[in-house]
Amino acid sequence: MSPRPTLLPGEASFSVAMQAAQDGDTAAYRALLRDCVPIIAAMARAKGVRGAALDDVVQDTLLTVHRARATYDPARPFLPWLRAITQRRAIDALRHMGRRPREVHEPLAYEAHADEAAIPGDDLERRDRAAILAAAVAHLPDGQREAIEHIALRELSLEEASALTGRTKGALKVNFHRGLKSLRTLLSPRHEGTDV
Partner 1 sequence: MTAWNEEPIPVASRHMRLIDALARGLVPVRQVSSPLQRMLDWLRIIILPGAGLVLVAHLKGALGRHAVEPEFVLAAIGSVATAVTAAAAAILAMFPDRDPRWALLPVPSLTLWIGASLSGASAKHGAPMSLSDACTCVGFILGLGVPFALLLATNLKGGYALYPSLSGGLAGLAAASAAASILGLFHPFATTLNDLALHALAIALLSGAGARLGRPFLGGRM
In the complex, which residues of this chain contact partner 1 (CB under 8 A)? 1-2, 21-24, 26-27, 29-30, 33-34, 37, 55, 58-60, 62-64, 66-74, 76, 80-81, 84-85, 88, 92, 130-131, 133-134, 137-138, 149, 153-154, 157, 159-160, 163-164, 166
Sign of the CA dihedral with 124 first, then 129, 135, and 138 last: negative
Q: Are 18 and 32 in contact (CB under 8 A)?
A: yes
Sign of the CA dihedral with 49 first, then 51, 53, and 54 last: positive
The smaller minimum CB distance to partner 1, of residues 71 and 188, is found at 71
Q: Are 48 and 91 in contact (CB under 8 A)?
A: no
* Least distance in angstroms from the C-beta of 115 to partner 1: 23
Name every residue whose Cβ is closer than 8 Å to that of residue 54 and which is 6 or more positions away in sequence. 41, 44, 45
* Least distance in angstroms from the C-beta of 73 to partner 1: 7
* Least distance in angstroms from the C-beta of 84 to partner 1: 4
* Least distance in angstroms from the C-beta of 23 to partner 1: 5
The smaller minimum CB distance to partner 1, of residues 16 and 149, is found at 149
Number of Cβ atoms within 10 Å of the Cβ of 93: 22
The smaller minimum CB distance to partner 1, of residues 33 and 97, is found at 33
